[in-house]
Each structure stands twice: as structure tokens, then as C-alpha cells.
Structure 1
Amino acid sequence: MESTEYAIIGAGLAGAATAWHLAARGHDVALLERATPANDAGSSHGSARIFRYAYPEEFYTGLVQEAKAGWDELARLSGKQLISPTGAVDYGAIRQPDRLAAVLAARGIDHELLTAEEANRRWPQIAFDTPVLWHPDAGVIDAHESVASMVNQAVTHGAELHNNWAVASISGSTGHYLLTSEDGMTLRAANVIIAAGGWLPQLLESLPLPSSFLAGMPPIEVRQEQAYHFPYVNGTEGGPPWPTFIHKREGWQAYGLPGGRDASFRGQKVAEYNGGKILPSAANQDGQINPENRRRVIEYVEQYLPGLIPEPYAETTCLFTNTPTEDFIMDRAEGITILSPCSGHGAKFAPLIGQIAADLATGTGSVPDQFRLAAQTRHAAAVTY
């Protein structure tokens, strides 16, 4: 029977980043993926994820700055442009652009605060309804290529990638775990790292973890999100450049970004944040678009995005896996590490998450207290980033 020092479950952004960092440090790593890395059933597929620095608190903005060093290193190693610069605009009655600007100023990040009129002159394709924060160093992450690059780095350093290895059960104890796949394959591992995203809820039920540790796990909400691609009024050429955007007003949050390869470079990807249905687990997703959600997003485009034709030419679903506070979960008990950097905003931190997870799994570094289960239980009120 094959054995390994570290078995990582899930080859999305978090799992691939962790495999890269552990293998680069000389550890024996097996990366187990239920399908193939960055497949469409997970949270790390496609070419369009927002990279931004704007957060309402310095904690996350500082982490983005740390993560950027990892992105730069991965780009150097892979020879690929993984983040395309676009800049970002944040606005809306409860987005608090002035608060975001204060955080960016404290961290030394280039930005501007604009009136709605100034922003409308600069980006006439967007109908701004409040003052606007602009920070030019934001951009769009190519998630699929990022995963591929990190997996390639892991394999280059000796990691073993196991595709079509869907974990059904994990048994044993520290140093002696037995992983069994849904089709009967087995693997022994001294340590296990769970980076399974929306499949985490169903795996938790069978993990050999202390009851006290599991009791501290916050409720995990898996959503089947929906996104729509709208064509540019002026086609792909001739119009003003589009930044990424987050528009947050009472009862509604929308986001958008250039769709890139996912949209054949023809338009913008627009979605209602956390507008999808709640699932027991990723295993229950059906890929079906909710007609009411489609109607809401089309109406939003009609009102606020005059630079787009309000008729989606493509649509898709993806998974968000949320904690009540929207903080990540990064914690360890015995030989099992739980890694769930999700809540819809984890992609931009991927290289740093891999570094922190490797530190946690090997006992060589610390994890921000905010990501520990004890902190999750102390902060019951939801916070939206």
C-alpha cells in the first residue's frame, strides 16, 4: 500500500498552494483530487477571480500585501501572467469607501476617493450612486492557470498528484491515517490536510478528530452561486477599460470583473454576492440557474451598468463555502489540518494560505488567531467583506 508524509485532500487553490509549499520544503506529499485540479465542480475553476486590496480592516489588507509576494514568485517560476491589472472600484451606501480608503492609506497602498460625478466621467460604463474608492493595483486572477502552476511546482519538487481520487473515509490516528477512496483505493498518511472546499461538511462527519475540536467548528454554509456574462455595448474594442467592482447597498451586493477566457473576452462577469441557494454539501450541486436570480442580475445591469447589453450570453454556477464571520478556517488537531480559506474571498490569498498551512501542518510557524476555531466561536456576528 502506498504511503506518504502528507496527504492533501483537494487540488483547488488552497490545496495546490499547500502542496507547492510543502513539497518545496522537501516533504513527501500526495495531492488527492476527486476529479482533476481546478475542475468546474469546485471553487477554483475558470479565469476570473478578483484580486484587490480594499478591506474594511487592516488585517486582511496586510495579508493581501503578503500574498502578493507569493503571486510574484509564482509568476516568476511559471513564466505566466497570473494576475491581469485592471484596478478596482468600490462604492454603494454601505460599502463605506472612505473607511476602505483609510485602511489603504494606513498600509501605503495607492488609491483615490472620487465623487460619483468624477467616477462617472472616468468610467461612463458604470452608473455610480455614491462616492467611489479607486485603487489601481487591483486586478483579475486566472484561477485555473494559478492552480496549474502551483500543482506543477509541487510535482516538480516531488509531490504525487492523484486525479480521480475521491476520499470516502479517513480512519486511524496521528502518524497512522488510512484514507479510502469512493472506488476502494487506499493510501496511508502520517498527516492529513483537508482543503476540500464545499465537500468539507460531509467529510467532517467521518474525520477521526477530538469531539472538543469538532464542537468548535462553526456552521459551514455551502452556496451554489450564479454568475452571468454580459456583452459590452461597444464590443471588445473601442470602449473604456473596465475595472473590477464591488457595489454594496442595503440588501444587495453585486460584483463584476472582466470575464477573460471564461467569457471569450467578450464581456463582463456579473453576479449577486451570496445570491445562490444553500446546499448541504458540494455533492448536492446541480448546476441549475435560478430564474429569479437571473432576473435580479439583469435588472441590476439595466440600472447600473450602461456599458453592458443586459442580455447574458453565458452563465455558470460555482461554489462559495462560508463561515458565519467570513473568516477562513485554518486549524489543526493531532495530525489533521482543516483548511477552508473560502467565504467567497479566498482566491487572492492562495500563495500565502499555502505557506501558512505548511507552517501549521509541520509545526514550524503560527497561524493568525482570527483563523483558529476558538476565534470563530467568539465572533458569532457575521461580517461581510
Structure 2
Amino acid sequence: MAADAFDYVVVGAGLAGAATAWQLAARGHQVAVVERSVPANDAGSSHGSARIFRYAYAEAEYSAWVKESLAGWEELARLAGQPLITPTGCVDYGQDRRPHELADVLERTGIGHELLSAEEARGRWPQFAFDTEVLWHQGAGVIDAHETVHTMVRAAVGHGARLYEDWDLAGARRSGAGYLLTNRRGEQLEAGHLVVAAGGWLPGLLGGLDLPAEFLAALPAFTVRQETAFHFPYRDQPAPGTFWPTFIHKRPGIQTYGLPGGRDADFRGQKLAEFNGGRTIPDASAQDGLIDPAHRARIIDYVKQYLPGLVPEPYAETTCLFTNTPNEDFIIDTADGVTVLSPCSGHGAKFAPLLGSLAADLATGSAVVPARFRPSLAAAAGRPA
């Protein structure tokens, strides 16, 4: 029996993969999405209802790309029939967060913000114990990742895409002008072009994709971490329809972030995590979901010192995956009919609709993507990636 054939097969139905499938299908291509489990499953990086949407970056390019993503978010909200980003605003502070420099970036990119002294900020948000000046930008918020993924998958299917759940890719080999994909059960699909958006599973897949050695050598080393997030209850529950701001606090030796927990924790508290505070694992298959007691104790101590508005006793905790590149840049690169899409390092969610457009542009050859996302170009030119 001949394998089903598609112009494009997207591997992974998380935020990046779903966005790419949506864009490719909307452009009239025959598209399949293969997912090892189900879209937005909790073994990946795109599950749950709480991801930070923010504009503050040390580099103006990234802040500008957040602005560019807004049209896509508006379209997704229309398709979902509900907002997918809850506005909360964000506070950035800490010696190593450099709020003044972030304010300069937002000024250059035309994004509304305020720069406050620690005293002014404590007067506005007494639930925080700010230790430096504070950047406030009111356009930030919280993304519902689960609903976003499912909205994009529904949109892709509405344009004719096929979704294959429980389809665990084992490998892909060149076949004619395209690729023959095989899953763990031996089932096969044919793809004219392959888009791999596998998140923390990517390091374990790359060697089985029949890619040129020089392309693989140009890719950065991907580091997968099993991160831990803790939910702490509010001392005083915010009034209905009001929210704590999200925050990023960066000081020597530690960067923490937090946001309203949403459905993930019954709206009862704030979700907190330490950026790259979890253990390194080879790839997503090695995650065990266990919480490190020492890490829990470190975050509890942090809450006691810096978040007086929370009860320093977590009522819920979970693990998730971060797939990191050394410089925290995304990877959107292509070779020999395979596009590798890894919007990693814990900050890709806010760009989801834009990333889908960029990956579709690159896969179809209709437009270029920023060169910083394509390490193969630097390698071909003899420059360090």
C-alpha cells in the first residue's frame, strides 16, 4: 500500500510546528502534521495556559519582532473566538537585568514603558520587594499556550491539513525528490519537504534525518533542560479581572521569572521558575518529571526575600522542557529539503505566529529569514556561527 504523500510534513504539533502547518496550509499546500503524542502535550514545551508575552529585550531586533507578531496574534484571537493573551504588564528589574538599557531599547522601538525607582515601584506593587530601578511595560501579558496550539491546528486542518497523532518519527531518508518518513510502528508518509519542529526531541532526531554533514556541523549545540515551575498562593487574592504583572528579575548568579498561573494552577497564585535552573538531559526522552528538593528550597527562599505578596509554600509544581542554544537565538535553517525550526531558549512562545510565517517562507523559498537564525549561512561563508 502506497504511503500518503504531502507537499510538506511538519514534525511536532507544539507552538512552532502548529504555526508552521497553519501558514503552509493557508497558502494552499498539501500539509501533514505528525505528533508523537497529541498537540500541546505535557511532555513538550507548549502545554499549559501560562507563558510570558513581553517586549523587553536587550536587542532591538527581538523587541521589533514581538511587535511584528501582533498581527498574527490578532488573527489567532479572531479564529479562537477569544483573546489568547491576557494583558498584565511586566516588571523587569535586578542588577543584571539592566532596566535602563531595556528602556532605551523600548524607546527606540516605539513601545510604551516607564522607568521607575525601586521606591516608586514598591509603592505601586507592594507585593514585590524590588532591589533596583524597575522597567514597566504595560503591553506585556500571559499567553494561553494550549489554546494557541489548538487554534492553529484547527486552522491548519480547516485549510486541508492532516493531523497524525501518536505518530512517533523514527527517521527520514531521501526518496526521489523528497523524503520517506517512518514512525516507530513502521508506518510511512512521503514528504516533498520536511519541517522539523520537535523541541526537546530535536537532538535525538537530527542524526536520523539524512541531512548533509556540513549542515549538521553548522548547527549549534542544543542543550535540553528539565526545568521546574512552582506555584505559590497569593496572600491576598487579586480582585476578579485584575492580575499581578509578570516579572523578570536578574541578579548575579540567578534569573527568576513569574506570571499569573492561569488554569494551570486554578488561578490561585503566581507561577515562578528559575531560568535555566533545571538539570541538563540528553533530550526530551530522558525527562523524569522529578522535582529537585534543593531547587524547591532555593525558590522558597527567593519568595521569602523578594515576594512578600506570596505565601512561601508552593501548592503545585511541575516540570517542563527548555531547549537552548548557546546565544539564545532561534534556529530557522534549511538544507536539502529539510527545514529545522527550533525557537528555543525559553522565549519563543510570544513569536509563535511570526515564526510560522518565517518557517513557511523558508521552506517554500518565498522569502528569506533573518541571517542570525541560519547558522549554515555563516558556516558557508567561513564565519563563526
Q: What's the TM-score bracket when you normalise by the shorter of the two chains? A: over 0.9
Aligned match of 1:32: 34
Query: Is this contact kept in 2: 1:174–1:334, CA < 8 A?
Result: no
SS in 2 for 1:205: helix
Change (3 A) 1:166 1:87: same
Per-residue CA deviation, residues 3-50 of structure 1 (Å, 9 max, x unaligned), is 111010000000000000000000000000000000000000000000
1:331 aligns with 2:333: yes
Cα distance in 1 for partners of 2:299, 2:50 equals: 18
Q: Aligned AA for 1:126? A: F
Contact 2:55/2:66 (<8 A) preserved: yes
Please tell me whether residue 13 in structure 1 is matched to residue 15 in structure 2.
yes
Matches within 5 A, 1:359-378: 359-374=361-376
Write out aligned runs for 1:196-345 (5 A): 196-237=198-239, 241-345=243-347
Q: Distance in 2 between matches of 1:259 and 1:268?
A: 5
Decide whether the 8 Å contact of 1:236 with 1:267 is kept in 2.
no
Deviation, 1:238, is: 8.4
Deviates more, 1:173-182 or 1:137-146: 173-182
Partner of 2:165: 163
User: 1:10 and 1:160 mapped to 2: Cα distance?
Assistant: 13
Contact 1:90 1:246 in 2 (8 A): yes
Greater mean alpha carbon deviation, residues 19-28 or residues 174-183: 174-183
Would the aligned equivalents of 1:24 and 1:157 in 2 still touch at CA under 8 Å? Answer: yes
Change beyond 3 A, Cα 1:347–1:239: closer
What SS does the aligned partner of 2:172 have?
strand
Aligned partner letter, 2:22: W
Q: Give the conservation status (yes or no) of the 8 Å contact 1:200–1:281.
A: yes
Q: Write the distance in 2 (CA, Å) between the matches of 1:116 and 1:370.
A: 36
Measured after TM superposition, the shift of residue 281 of structure 1 is 0.5
Alpha carbons of structure 1 residues 239 and 35: separation in structure 2 relative to 1, 3 Å: closer
The one-letter amino acid of 2:361's match is D
What amino acid does structure 2 have at the position aligned with 1:261?
R
Report the Cα offset of residue 268 of structure 1.
0.2
The answer on whether the counterparts of 2:11 and 2:195 sit within 8 Å (CA) in structure 1 is yes
What CA RMSD, in Å, does the superposition of the two structures yield over aligned residues?
1.4
Gaps of 5+ in 2: none
Identity of aligned residues (%): 64
Contact 1:174 1:191 in 2 (8 A): no
Deviation at 1:357, TM superposition (A): 0.3
- Of residues 106-115 and 233-242 in structure 1, the stretch that sits farther from structure 2 once superposed is 233-242
Please give the secondary structure, in 1, of the residue aligned with 2:208: coil
Shift of residue 267 of structure 1? Answer: 0.3
Distance 2:378 2:243 in 1: 40
Change (3 A) 1:239 1:78: closer
Matched, 1:53 2:55: yes
**Secondary structure of residue in 2 paired with 1:299:** helix
Superposed displacement of residue 237, structure 1: 3.8
Letter in 2 for 1:316: T
Task: Give the Å deviation of 1:173.
Answer: 4.9
Encode CA deviations 1:314-360: one digit per residue, 9 max, x unaligned: 00000000000100000000100000001100000000000000000
- Distance in 1 (alpha carbons) for counterparts of 2:242 and 2:308: 12
How far residue 379 of structure 1 moved from its aligned partner, in angstroms, is 6.2
- Structure 2 CA distance, aligned partners of 1:173 and 1:92? 53
**Residue 346 of structure 1: aligned partner:** 348
Residues in 1 aligned to 2:160 and 2:19: alpha-carbon distance in whole angstroms: 14
Instruction: Indicate the larger mover: 106-115 or 165-174.
Output: 165-174
Q: Deviation digits for residues 245-275 of structure 1, max 9, x if unmatched?
A: 0000000000000000001000000011100
TM-score, with normalisation over the residues of structure 2?
A: 0.96
Whether contact under 8 Å (2:243, 2:260) holds in the other structure is: no
Q: 5 Å matches for 1:88-237?
A: 88-173=90-175, 175-237=177-239
Displacement, 1:241? Answer: 3.7
Match of 1:383 in 2: none
Q: 1:188 is aligned with what amino acid?
A: E
Q: Is the 8 A contact 2:333 2:376 kept in 1?
A: no
Q: State the 1:77 CA deviation.
A: 2.0
Tell me the SS of whatever aligns to 1:268.
strand
* Inter-partner Cα distance in structure 2 for 1:181 and 1:242: 44
